[in-house]
Structure 1
Amino acid sequence: MKTECNIEENLKNCKCTYTSCSKRGKCCECIRSHWRSGELPGCLFPPELERTYDRSLKTFIEYYKDRV
């Protein structure tokens, strides 16, 4: 079953501050692109880390390791 991407709805909830990204609102493309680079999308980070544009797994793990 294939579902359609609702870009307008995704944009309402997108927390990424990199507004000129061509993948903005296209979550599947965003995740695929970041994962190819060994990264996670900005929406998974808290605002203070998202603004640094450091999408590394290391940063994600370091931030959350004592918070979960």
Structure 2
Amino acid sequence: MECRKEKNLKLCTCTYAHCDKKGICCECVAYHRGRGELPGCFFPPEAERTYDRSVEAFIRAHQKR
């Protein structure tokens, strides 16, 4: 399957500018999953900007809603 990086970049909400996986969702998900984390796009904007991708941070961010 061909990567749709340009299309993905238009939807990507990750603010980490130096990420080499930005727009390559399959690599991003695999990277974070391997670290026991979730990708930044799973978080609301204010939580994403903390760069804490832990499951605990995800739960905290969504309990506030």
Q: RMSD of the alignment, in Å?
A: 1.2
Q: Does 1:39 align with 2:37?
A: yes
Question: Where in structure 2 are there 5+ consecutive unaligned residues?
Answer: none
**1:1-68 to 2 correspondence within 5 Å?**
3-65=1-63, 67=65
After TM superposition, where is structure 1 displaced by more than 2 Å over at least 4 residues in a row? none
Cα shift readout 1:19-58 (whole Å, capped 9, x = no counterpart): 2111010000000000111100000100000000000001
- Name the aligned partner's letter for residue 39 of structure 2: P
- Percent identity over the alignment? 58
